[in-house]
Amino acid sequence: MKKREIRKLTPADMPAYMEIYLNAYPAGKDLSEECYQKYYDRNLQSLEEFRHVNFFGMFEDDTLIASMKLIDFDINLFGEMRKATGLMALGVHPLYKKKGAAREMVRFFEEYTVKSGGAVCLLLPFRIDFYKNLGYGCGTRLDEYHILTDYLPEEKDVTGLRLMGKEDVDQMVECHTAFVKRYHGALCKFEEEIRDMRNDDEVRRLGLFKGDELLGYAAFTFENTSDCNYTLNRMNVKELVYRDEFVLKKLLGGLRMQSDLAQTVVIRSGEPEFYHLLDSPQDVSGNYIDFGFMQTNISAVGTMYKIPDVEFFIKAAAHRSFPPENIDVAFSVTDNAGTEENRFTVKFRTSDDGSCSRWYYDSSSDVWKDAKVHLSCRLMDLSTLFMGSSELAGLIRLGLVKTDCPQKTGLLDYLFHTEQKPFTNTDY
């Protein structure tokens, strides 16, 4: 029987890594020497220079059969910065598929997260069902609006708006870090993102300044929408970073001013209420949905979360403020197959000043048995609930969480509610 081992990759492994990478992610790539060298140089730089990027490979005897990158992220977890790990570029050699290699690599990723002090595992799924079966829950939806540019809110005072260039990248990264520290679920930029910002020749950036301080920026491209008329364009907003609602409105007003160049705009947001901000959220498609509904946007699921160690996660988020309440909530959490069960209790206790309550983990069987309410669910649903991606009452209505005390649903829904759902548009 052949021996399998997962270990860190070295520069000597890069040719074998490239064979897997180029075949696992063929879109926009070919097998030319130019393409090979481009991605070889990029990945070698990441391996040798970027401390937040970790290359791992699975070897069967001496043959590399699977590879991945693990990103050490800094994440805003309910208002404080914590560690998280992201899975990136998972690939299996074309001749070694369907042999469990990908599943083993994901398990290693989860173990790495726990050992490195990460509170949560993050990934962008190639197949949602595959990762759901491994206990990953869907995060907050991304809404993409394609509307007339003139539907963006108007802002006549554009004082402080400036076009930015590559020389401003360091200031943009600093601004983004300040943005991350205000929004739950946001991730600080890692080295590969910053490198790509420095090398990007297509993206334009509009910044709002107060003196020399950058308060927010919008990154966008112009894309032609006609084969015969170069004046017909749309703006594609890739990134929208803002300190508060006033900065957001200024940036959107600056984008609206470009309606003479781009008649329509594609803009994305993780804010569920974003459509209320627009003069009209009606999609340019004019699509009509029965009965009496006009299409406003398309929605997508990206980031998926898994909490690999519930006790550690609760300790990492011990600062989270809940409504003042003293109650023990017992959980029975199973994997998707229902073969493994983890029982524990979350104890909510009101702070000394009565302003809020904090949560605590308890694994005692007696405390679990004596709790006033018991909830049962799968790990993927627990992960979305604890991260704040979903509402408890909705999960109960859909039968994804079961309770033996339905009269407490309103109270528990209020208790677990988050003011802002976690969101990141980080590409990894």
Task: Name every residue whose Cβ is closer than 8 Å to that of residue 334 and which is 6 or more positions away in sequence.
Answer: 340, 341, 342, 376, 377, 378, 379
Q: Which CATH superfamily is domain 4-123 in?
A: Gcn5-related N-acetyltransferase (GNAT) (3.40.630.30)
Question: Which ranges in 74-144 belong to alpha helices (H)?
Answer: 101-115, 128-132
Six token digits for residue 216? 């927010």
What's the rounded Cα separation, in Å, for the pair 266 and 253?
A: 15
The DSSP call for residue 140 is P
Q: Where in the chain is the domain with CATH 3.30.1050.10?
A: 305-416
CB 258 within 8 A of CB 129: no
What's the rounded Cα separation, in Å, for the pair 76 and 120?
A: 11
Tokens 């983004």 locate to 176
Six token digits for residue 389? 């991606």
| pLDDT tens per residue across all 428 residues of the chain | 688 999 999 999 999 999 999 999 999 898 899 999 999 999 999 999 999 999 999 999 999 999 999 999 999 999 999 999 999 999 999 999 999 999 999 999 999 999 999 999 999 998 999 999 999 999 999 999 999 999 999 998 989 999 999 999 999 999 999 999 999 999 999 999 999 999 999 999 999 999 999 999 999 999 999 999 999 999 999 999 999 999 999 999 999 999 999 999 999 999 999 999 999 999 999 999 999 999 999 999 999 999 999 999 999 999 999 999 999 999 999 987 767 889 999 999 999 999 999 999 999 999 999 999 999 999 999 999 999 999 999 999 999 999 999 999 999 999 999 999 999 989 99
How far CA 163 is from CA of 62, 206, 207, 339, in Å, comes to 52, 5, 6, 56
Neighbouring CB atoms inside 10 A of 39's CB total 15
Closest CA to 329 of 395, 416, 418: 416
* Segment holding 368, helix H or strand E: helix 365-370
What's the rounded Cα separation, in Å, for the pair 135 and 87?
A: 14
Domain 305-416: which topology?
Nonspecific Lipid-transfer Protein; Chain A (3.30.1050)
Q: Where in the chain is the domain with CATH 3.40.630.30?
A: 4-123, 142-301
Task: Name every residue whose Cβ is closer than 8 Å to that of residue 90 and which is 6 or more positions away in sequence.
Answer: 24, 66, 67, 68, 102, 105, 106, 126
The bridge status of strand 357-362 relative to strand 341-350 is antiparallel
**pLDDT at 339 (0 to 100):** 76
What's the rounded Cα separation, in Å, for the pair 250 and 235?
A: 17
The answer regarding whether domain 142-301 maps to CATH 3.40.50.2300 reads: no
Phi-psi bin for 359: left (phi > 0), alpha (psi -120 to 50), beta?
beta
**pLDDT at 107 (0 to 100):** 97
**pLDDT at 1 (0 to 100):** 67
CB 97 within 8 A of CB 87: no
Task: Name every residue whose Cβ is closer than 8 Å to that of residue 168 and which is 6 or more positions away in sequence.
Answer: 205, 207, 214
Full-model pTM: 0.94
Backbone angles phi, psi at 301, to 5 degrees: -105, 130
**pLDDT at 340 (0 to 100):** 81
What's the rounded Cα separation, in Å, for the pair 20 and 55?
A: 13
Amino acid at 10: T
What's the rounded Cα separation, in Å, for the pair 337 and 68?
A: 26
What's the rounded Cα separation, in Å, for the pair 165 and 148?
A: 26
**pLDDT at 254 (0 to 100):** 97
Q: Which residues is 56 bridged to in the sheet? A: 8, 68
* Segment holding 250, helix H or strand E: helix 245-256
Greatest pairwise CA separation for the chain in angstroms: 74
User: Please, what is the Cα angle at 249 between 274 and 79, to 5 degrees?
Assistant: 65
Cis peptide before 423 (omega within 30 of 0): no
CB 61 within 8 A of CB 55: no
